[in-house]
Amino acid sequence: MEFWPFWLGGLALAAIALAHWLTLHRQMAVSGRFTALVNRWRFGPTEQDTATVSNAELVAAMRELTAAEFGAEALASNEAPDAGIEDSSPVLRKRQPPAVHSLFLASLFLGGLLSAWLAGNLRFSMTLDSPLFSSIFGEGWPGALALLVGGLLVGFGTRMAAGCTSGHGLCGVSRFQKGSLLATACFFGAGILVSFALGALI
């Protein structure tokens, strides 16, 4: 398999993230869109699906929750926390409809199919096309089961880290967000360690 040069791949990924932001005015996130679809299926439509929340409304809600959790004296120590907040400035916009999330995820799937077809190696398999993977897990259902367990662990990790490689690794790291830097170091570091560990088994 031939790969693009690192600089070309980096520019392409940056262009995709930038185009996503300029088009939708939202940070690109794959796991976030999948979570939005699952939550819509589990809980149905919510108030935020159709309404926006202004800065002033958000501050008022935060003050109410703070007073309920820590008491009114916690607010008294903070003078004029809502100074300069304008009601006309929306901070939370209504959520995107499920159709937008579905289109985004379907485009990822179709893009992968198109890439494999253009490369001339389009085929469906229940295991990875990797000699290392096949030598450890074999062919058939053991390999498929390993991928299923791995996928569940990836899903658990992305929820625990509040993001995946697109949200943290691509968008968050490029903005020097501390949480994204830590999360990206953890999941890439873990992937490298597991790769070396599996390589040592053969």
Confidence at residue 85, expressed as pLDDT on a 0 to 100 scale = 47
For 39-74, the pLDDT digits (tens) are 888 887 766 555 566 677 777 888 888 888 777 776
Q: Alpha-carbon distance 57 to 80, whole Å? A: 15
Q: What is the dihedral of CA 96, 97, 98, 104, to 10 degrees?
A: -50
For 65-99, the pLDDT digits (tens) are 888 877 777 666 555 545 444 444 445 556 778 88
- Among the ranges given (32-41, 135-144, 180-189), the one the predictor scored with the smallest mean pLDDT: 135-144
Picking from 95, 2, 82, the residue whose alpha carbon sits closest to that of residue 48 is: 95
- Would you kindly state where each structural domain of the chain is located, as residue ranges? 52-93, 125-202
